[in-house]
Amino acid sequence: MTDIPFDCVGFDLDGTLLDTSDELTVSLNHALASIGRPPLTQAEVRPMVGLGARHMLAEGLARSGESSEAMADGLLPVLLEHYDAHLGSGSPPFPGLIGTMDRLATMNVKLAVVTNKFERLAVKLLEAKGMASRFGAIIGGDTMGKGFAKPHRAPIDEMIRRCGATRAAFIGDSIYDVGAAKAAGVPVVAVSFGFLTGPVEALGADAVIDHYDVLIATLEQLG
């Protein structure tokens, strides 16, 4: 039995579980530097995160100068190779997360990750941070096939299936998270400390939290 009306709680990864903006900024700048582009700041990169590495790279190219599909395709392996080699060197969990996950585990709530990061990189990062074993499912942007990443509902449906859940909730920081959860009929909580591109209230989530210490109480209210 649980003390909240959900037997599965899913999380986005970048900007929700972990502040990955430090590692992503370094790897993006590495790729940009390889073609003579100036570096971007961490604050500039944060809003580019959410639709996967290629989207972030395309945004970075546009911000730093000329951009094209061919340039993004050509530089993507450079970015991914660097990112892969340095996974876990930064990316701290957000304050209060670990304690809240511990509490959810004692309530027999299954935890999951649904991210638009490639599944292999998501698993490797969570393993590097010692967190992978906490999750009953880790679903990446490529897990369900091309065209089925968030905001499509398919990865949320797969999360529910893998966790054997009867009622799930989802936590995220972007319109893609909110869109996917709502399409799947799942209550969604937005985090105000994530990689936002505008006011968190504009995402249309069912609730907003400013710290993980209030997540469980928020989930109780949503139920």
* Residues noted as catalytic: 12
Residue that has been written with the tokens 């249309």 in this structure = 204
Q: Are strands 188-191 and 168-172 parallel, antiparallel or unpaired?
A: parallel
Q: At 138, is the secondary structure helix, strand, or coil?
A: strand
Q: Give the Cβ contact number of residue 151 at 10 Å.
A: 19
Are residues 195 and 173 in contact, defined by beta-carbon separation less than 8 angstroms?
A: yes
Are residues 134 and 115 in contact, defined by beta-carbon separation less than 8 angstroms?
A: no
Q: What burial class does residue 96 get, using C-beta atoms within 10 Å of its C-beta: 0-12 exposed, 13-18 middle, 19+ buried?
A: middle
Q: Give the Cβ contact number of residue 4 at 10 Å.
A: 21
Are residues 196 and 210 in contact, defined by beta-carbon separation less than 8 angstroms?
A: no
Distance CA 162, CA 135 (A): 11
Q: At 33, is the secondary structure helix, strand, or coil?
A: helix
